[in-house]
Structure 1
Amino acid sequence: MTDSTVNPPAAPSWLSPEARAGLEVPITRTPYPPLDDSAAWQEFIGQVDTMVTGMLAGMPSLAESALIDADGVPTYVVTPPGAPTGDDAPVFLNIHGGGLIMGAGDLTRVMTEIGAAGNGVVNWAPDYRMPPLHPFPAALDDVATVYRALLAVKSPDAIVVGGGSAGGNLAAALLLRAKDEGLPMPAALVLNTPEVDLTESGDSFTTLADVSVGLQSLREANLLYAGGHALDEPYLSPLFGDLTGFPPTLLTGGTRDLFLSNTVRMHRRLREAGVDADLHIFDGRPHAGFGNAPEELAVTLETRSFVHRHLGLG
């Protein structure tokens, strides 16, 4: 099989030239390796990680980073400029995205440094294990280990858990598991266009298939991650879990995001469970955001305001 390409529709005219340019690039769909070919998956993941590293090379970051061992899980501690520090300082447990298969190693640090300025507090970013060598539940085990390590040194009301895309999956799954294990909830939860339904049953997986720049169906990657488990199990697809008792949650997404259905359905499920959930959908925003375009500032400010409000930072 070879790559296939489609041209998305013209971007909304009111967006900035930078945003429009990002929305009108051809959408390339790349076939995945066979599920049982571990070597081919490792090669595929390495190629994508290299491509993403190049794309992020021009994104500015002034954050300082240190790599720690959080009870056996390598974890980057990222401190953006002006973030409160010290024993009582709050922490954002930042779970990186990457389709549950990509973004490991130094790329975890790079992505966290770029995003940390948006929330303005110290970030802990687990470099969690992933397929093909480590399928489910390895990644969830790792983020749960780091959450327990955080709870050993921080009050739960000084912790916010969050992530984008696959990181949103693991963030929500972490809280389901924390409930099951009797661990306290954090002060808040941030889900940026979360991959909370690995079955991809939502409407936007059909309606936005030829619109969502930068993201194609991840069904094969989801099967690789699941390692033989049913994709609708709540720890794999938190959309189908019991969300009662979740902390206040911020959800963000966009009208050109393949995961739009994930975001709006998760918001509705949270509301039905009695959770205080805020939803912000931005016109024209793709899955990976507007990048350096000015429209992305609104997303950053909403996230920062939400995080600081629930951490009592004003």
Structure 2
Amino acid sequence: MPTSVSREAQAAIVRGMAATATRYPEPDDLDGWRALAAATDEAVRGMVGALPALGGEEERIDLGGLPVHAIAPAGLAPDDRRVYLDVHGGAWISGKGEVCRVRGALTARSVGARVWAVDYRMPPDHRYPAALDDCLTVYRALLEERRPEEIVVGGSSAGGNLAAALMLRARDEGLPLPAALVLSTPAVDLTESGDTWRTNLGLDPVLTGSLMPAIRLYADGHDLRDPYLSPLFGDFTNGFPPTVLASGTRDLLLSDTVRMHRALRAAGVEAELHVFEAAGHGMFLGNTPEDKDKAREIRRFAEREWARAAL
């Protein structure tokens, strides 16, 4: 147990290490995958169920059957046009509905801006490229209401994968890019070739092993090195927004995050990296001082890039 982090963070590590490792269904067991997604969502709802009222305004937008949760934090000025396009995580199989809405509300409070939370389609019923198509649909719709410099896109884990892939897809389709991109512990190399997939195995209190069963379900037979599936292998020299990346020293995806940062820097993209002591995948999943520190860094980055883009 590391003594270099807060008591709250240490407690979170203990809880994570005591949790049962995820057991993935067989590839063709569709009911098993649906049951796993439902159980995961129920666990997340249990974690956030005791949160106080978030306040603010909420609206459910329907884009031809694709739900988007538009959420403004309490106290937001009526003329504040900034929007944070939030892409939820959940190994591409969980995080829909109420979980997506609550995560969007938490993000709105954290970044101090309006959020559009994408309730994208997921496996086993909808596989690649359904989720990425949905993210692009929402981004197009948002561009009809906001200038690109008023938009920041962000995602965590599988959501970070989709957010980064969205930037490549939007650029390739000739769309203007947003003011900035936020990638929290992003899964950007679906081949799992990074060093920390091995060196942090057994140390990450959130990810207890390979995600390959979920990755293969999502990818549906496509080449895992395709940049729309593994953005790390994309070309960043022809346009990419300023990016902040966050991970932790115990994160199984630390290598994904570090390698993405280096790839962006090599291509001349403005990118900053924050690695937090003893944090696993998704930090400490709570209200620890370390989680608050990360939230401050992301808000500072987003506010700076919104302000720069508005000049």
**Same fold by TM (over 0.5)?**
yes
- Aligned AA (1:20): Q
> What displacement does 1:61 show?
4.9
Asked if 1:22 is matched to 2:12, the reply is yes
Normalised to the residue count of structure 1, the TM-score between the two structures is: 0.93
Q: Give the share of equivalent positions with the same residue, in percent.
A: 52
Secondary structure (helix, strand or coil) at the match of 1:68 reads strand
> What displacement does 1:207 show?
0.6
Asked if 1:139 is matched to 2:134, the reply is no
Match for residue 49 of structure 2? 57
User: In structure 2, which of residues 117, 120, 139 is the aligned counterpart of residue 128 of structure 1?
Assistant: 120
Match for residue 257 of structure 1? 251
Determine if contact 1:249/1:276 at 8 Å carries over to the other structure.
yes
Write out the 4+ residue segments of structure 1 that deviate beyond 6 Å after TM superposition.
none
Give the Cα separation in 2 of the matches to 1:111 and 1:186.
21
* RMSD of aligned Cα (Å): 1.5
Determine if contact 1:65/1:109 at 8 Å carries over to the other structure.
no
Secondary structure (helix, strand or coil) at the match of 2:103 reads helix
- Aligned AA (2:54): L
Determine if contact 2:248/2:279 at 8 Å carries over to the other structure.
yes
Give the Cα separation in 2 of the matches to 1:103 and 1:20.
26
Count of residue pairs brought into register by the alignment: 303
> What displacement does 1:23 show?
1.1
Determine if contact 1:84/1:90 at 8 Å carries over to the other structure.
no
Match for residue 209 of structure 1? 201
Deviations 1:5-52 (A, max 9, x none): xxxxx1x21322111011123253222101011111111111111111
Q: Decide whether aligned partners of structure 1 residues 250 and 184 sit closer, same or farther in structure 2, where only a CA change above 3 A counts.
A: same
- Aligned AA (1:275): V
- Aligned AA (2:253): F
Secondary structure (helix, strand or coil) at the match of 2:145 reads coil
Deviations 1:211-244 (A, max 9, x none): 0011132110000000111111110110111122
Determine if contact 2:161/2:230 at 8 Å carries over to the other structure.
yes
> What displacement does 1:83 show?
2.8
Give the Cα separation in 1 of the matches to 2:293 and 2:240.
25
Match for residue 7 of structure 1? none
Match for residue 260 of structure 2? 266
Give the Cα separation in 1 of the matches to 2:6 and 2:216.
38
Query: How is 1:151-162 mapped onto 2 (pairs within 5 angstroms)?
Result: 151-162=143-154
Secondary structure (helix, strand or coil) at the match of 2:187 reads coil
Normalised to the residue count of structure 2, the TM-score between the two structures is: 0.94
Determine if contact 1:205/1:258 at 8 Å carries over to the other structure.
yes
User: In structure 2, which of residues 287, 291, 295 is the aligned counterpart of residue 296 of structure 1?
Assistant: 291
> What displacement does 1:299 show?
0.5
Match for residue 310 of structure 1? 305
Deviations 1:178-216 (A, max 9, x none): 111000010000001111111111001001110001113
Match for residue 176 of structure 1? 168
Match for residue 99 of structure 2? 107
Runs of 5+ consecutive residues of structure 1 not aligned to the other structure: 1-9
